[in-house]
Amino acid sequence: LYRWMLERFFFDYLLKTDDDCFINVPSILFEIRQWSQKAANKLWWGNFRRNWFVERFGKWRELDFSSKTYPPFACGSGYILSKSLVDWLAANFEYLHCFQGEDVSVGIWLSAVNAKEMDDWRWQCFSNCSNNALAIPNLNEKQLRRYWRNSITCGKVCDCNE
């Protein structure tokens, strides 16, 4: 995926999200425009889980990572990678082992390059609605449509009557 993106598109930042997430694109773009290019080198912007225990049983079981906890990783609603990190991932992908989840894998891989983690609660890990959210996960189609409609109609994601 990383190599494919680099071969087809010119970008400074790459957004990763899941298809069940509301993404507040205008707010994300506003934030990015405030950064300088130099400060954004090796930048990873998301909501990070830290000291997350490696599960050995169940849906998220991990058999290949031997540590008791994972290195920091961004939760699944979404995150931004600077191009320098995407370049590194693409260049080294054939050597990188895929672990139980993409988010965890990226955390393990990027721990090797000392990425600049920009921890931001607005990349929500749970589906609680916040008008300040950059991403809200685990939504059904009805919720996604409502949040988009609200954001376009009144600029508030959760409720135009607030």
What pLDDT, on a 0 to 100 scale, did the predictor assign at position 40?
74
Say what the alpha-carbon torsion angle 7, 11, 14, 17 is, to the nearest 10 degrees.
Answer: -90
How far is it, in rounded angstroms, from Cα 153 to Cα 147? 10
How far is it, in rounded angstroms, from Cα 160 to Cα 147? 10
Cα distances (Å, whole numbers) of residue 28 to 31, 51, 78, 90, 101? 5, 27, 11, 24, 24
pTM of the predicted structure, to 2 decimals: 0.91
Extract the tokens encoding 25.
């694109």
pLDDT tens sequence for the chain (162 residues): 899 999 999 999 999 999 999 999 999 999 998 876 656 789 999 999 999 999 999 988 998 999 999 999 999 899 999 999 999 999 999 999 999 889 999 999 999 999 999 999 999 999 999 999 999 999 999 999 999 999 999 989 998 886
Helix (H) or strand (E) holding 17: strand 13-17
